[in-house]
Structure 1
Amino acid sequence: MSILVQVLLTLLVLSACLADVVAHTLRARTLKETMNWLERLQQEVSCDKMNVINIFADQKSRNNTEILCKAATIAQEVKSCHKYLEGIYYNLLSLVRHKEPCPVASGSTTSLKNFLKELDHVLQEEFKNQN
């Protein structure tokens, strides 16, 4: 095997590894940014008594990707409440790699305040699991 082929193979392997590192870093940054916004929102949101669909009610089939996608739907529905909710909406879509939020079936409701608290727990869990 020629030296050129060896160098090209080495560069290919390194670029694949670097892509994984970059993706991991971007995901961590997005999670952290979203958790920071949630923390601020929980302190200053004025419409925290607003009711939203409780996507956390069914704890048996807890799939964080599905929960984050549904949470994006909720964030999209209430994003007029606070500017951070729009950023959270886009970050959640980015985390689950969807272009559109997932459909959410109607059901029991919870306050926006409780929704944000539960979402923060899910994001913290995701952050811990990725490291």
Structure 2
Amino acid sequence: MSIPVPVLLTFLALSACQGRMAALLQTSNLLKESIRLLSEILETKVSCDKMNVTSIFAGDKKENYMEILCKATTVAWEGRSCHRHLEGVYLNLLSLVRRKSTVHKAPCPVAAGNTTSLNDFLVNLRRVLQRLVKD
């Protein structure tokens, strides 16, 4: 018994679409979970919110989102002692970068220079992730 070619092609096309849809859904879930964790962190007032971290959002605005997310993994890892949920944010960002980028190997090095408060970093990161969810 043979399968007609049009049926086989349709099956293959649907299989490919389903894999892409699952990957998009998983990416969206990681972004939404990270936004939720960041919101919880920002609602919690702790003394280390004023802790200085590298400002990855102050530099060149031409950086792509993957590069920003890659650098954000480093800053989230460094700030995890302040908020336990930052480890979850770190793991989500790490997973996103590893899946979506062949160029960046998270966590990325961040250049010393401008600093910002951990709280400001978290606000900016949540804004970037919300923009990515909308796109």
| TM-score, normalisation: structure 2 | 0.87
Query: For residues 5-45 of structure 1, what are the alpha-carbon distances to aligned partners after superposition, in whole Å with 9 as ceiling and x for unaligned?
Result: 44333222111000011011111111111000000100115
- The partner residue of 2:120 within 109, 114, 126 is 114
Q: Output the CA distance in 1 between the equivalents of 2:134 and 2:35.
A: 12
Contact 1:41 1:84 in 2 (8 A): yes
What are the ranges of 5 or more consecutive residues in structure 2 without an aligned counterpart? 100-104
Q: Which residue of 2 aligns with 1:88?
A: 89
Contact 1:54 1:108 in 2 (8 A): yes
Q: Which residue of 1 aligns with 2:102?
A: none
What are the ranges of 5 or more consecutive residues in structure 1 without an aligned counterpart? none
How many residue pairs end up in the alignment? Answer: 128
Contact 2:42 2:119 in 1 (8 A): yes
Q: Output the CA distance in 2 between the equivalents of 1:45 and 1:72.
A: 22
3-state SS, counterpart of residue 50 of structure 2: coil
Query: For residues 91-128 of structure 1, what are the alpha-carbon distances to aligned partners after superposition, in whole Å with 9 as ceiling and x for unaligned?
Result: 11122226631110101100000000000110011011
How far the C-alpha of 1:59 sits from its partner, in A, is 4.3
Q: Kindly, what percent of the aligned residue pairs are identical?
A: 54
| TM-score, normalisation: structure 1 | 0.89
| 1:69-108 aligned within 5 A | 69-97=70-98, 100-108=106-114
